[in-house]
Structure formats: structure tokens, C-alpha cells
Structure 1
């Protein structure tokens, strides 16, 4: 699903910085429920959320203003 978020952001005109996480690093990123939460999207240096939040804000029309306010998108 990381590919979906990356393609969405690129399609909006954002040039995201992407950090790939290798298998050994995954164990340190497991949440309390035993699941790894990826993608972890940061906007303006703050954790924004994962795939569900990105897609929900995009569908509702809120994502572009959030990206503009953070200086990640110039339209």
C-alpha cells in the first residue's frame, strides 16, 4: 500500500521523501497489537497517519489544503 500513497502524492504534485524499511528494522516498528503500521506518512514533519487517513482526507477534499498549509504543495 506504500506504492498507492506514493503514487497519489506524486499525482498531486508532491515530491515525497521515501524511506524504505528493511526486514530487520520491522521488528522495532511493531505496534502494541503486533502489527506493523505502514505506510507512516509525515506532513510538515509531523505524523499524519497511514493509508486510511491519507485516502479519507483525499476523498473528502481535505488533503490538498493540508499539504498546501504544510508547504509540501504549491498550486
Structure 2
């Protein structure tokens, strides 16, 4: 869990993903379209990926990926992020965290 917190706090926007996950790909594409440049951590390519996946599950991520952190705080999974995007909150959160500028 400590590694998750450490990585999540190093950049304004951090996404934990798996390279084979289609929803992870969609969430990354959404952030790029919004102008953000998130730090991406592919759990299936990290030696500690399995442990980080279990730590994310303990935060309430089910499925564990994609897991999005903005401003060091856990935002949610794909469903949560899409809901925030639809109601306009996601862009505002990214601006507040200085992940995008408008």
C-alpha cells in the first residue's frame, strides 16, 4: 500500500493499469484527449504488480484496474471516472490538481 501511495503522490495524475485491459486503454485515451499526461503504471509489467493489485483492491478497486488518482487522491475505477467525465467534474479535478491548464 505504501508503494501505491508513494507513486500516486509523485504526479498530478496517476493511473494504474494492465497492458491487456481494454478499459485501461480507454481511460488512458480519455485523459490524453483532455490534455493530461498521466503517469501510467502497468501492473502486469511491474515486479511488484501483484502486490500493488491487491493493495488497490483493498482500497475498494474492483476490478483493481484501471485505478485513477488525481492530486494524490483515489478517484475511482473506470465507471467512476466516466461518470465524472460525463458530469464535467473530471476536467475540473484535473485543473485543480494542475494536470491540465485552460
C-alpha RMSD of the superposition: 2.1
1:18 is aligned, of 20, 23, 40, to: 40
Deviates more, 1:11-20 or 1:36-45: 36-45
CA offset digits 1:25-62 (Å, max 9, x no partner) = 33x32436xx5410110101111111011100001111
Higher relative contact order (CA 8 A, sep 6+): 2
Moved over 6 A (4+): none
More strand by percentage: 2
Task: Specify every segment of 5 or more residues in structure 2 that has no aligned partner in the other structure, as ranges.
Answer: 1-22
TM-score (norm 2): 0.63
TM-score (norm 1): 0.83
Task: Specify every segment of 5 or more residues in structure 1 that has no aligned partner in the other structure, as ranges.
Answer: none
Larger Rg: 1
